[in-house]
Amino acid sequence: MTDVQHLTTGTFAAAVEGPGITVIDFWAGWCGPCRAMAPRFERAAVKRPAYRFAKVDVDAEPALAARYGVRSIPTLVVLRDGEPVAAEAGVVGVDQLVEALDRIAAAPRPGRYGAGGRGMTDTGDWPLERVLFALAGTITLASAALAVTVSEWFLLLTAFVGANQWLYVLVGACPASLVLRRAFHLRSVIYDNDSAASVAREVAAV
């Protein structure tokens, strides 16, 4: 049977910092749902021996629970290469857990969601994530004040968010460029009109 480690503060770092997938079950002995989750967790460990499975008793190790924002139990936290990438509270089925872990293992490596940031049962990209990247494009373009060339602008975007997300930035940056161009144009027209009016008043005064 695949070993499920019981981690403490002293053994935690060495157990989770290696490469690959680690899933941690935060539990307590008095918790009924935790006891229901235990055999499912062990069966998932048997089905996926390539992943590391571990348990943390929140009563014995409250600091570890606090580090990963565990507010209810059972909570499963998944780490990839030592970094938290997903979390799920409540009892999770064996197949559901295994499929979620496989999906996380197969996903592109860039991007950190943080414990609790994305549920293990979620699929696909968040619409919110796309909105945030579009917003990033707007902010980036505004701060760049319309870069001199398209190539410079593209390099700025890819440096800011990574090449795999630049398309979402472009979506936000395109309408922003129109708004900025319009704003600059109106400002120029107002300035020119004010200048012309000032000249006219000076001529009339003469």
Supply the residues annotated as catalytic: 31, 34
Q: How far from each other are the two terminal CA atoms of the chain, in whole angstroms?
A: 101
- Where are the extended beta strands (E) located within the chain? 5-6, 21-27, 52-57, 75-80, 83-89
Calculate the alpha carbon distances from 204 to 191, 192, 195, 198 in Å. 20, 18, 14, 10
Task: Round to whole Å and give the CA distance between 115 and 76.
Answer: 9
Q: Give which of 76, 110, 111 is closest to 96, Cα–Cα.
A: 76
Strand order across the 21-27 sheet: 5-6, 52-57, 21-27, 75-80, 83-89
The 8-class DSSP code of residue 80 comes to: E
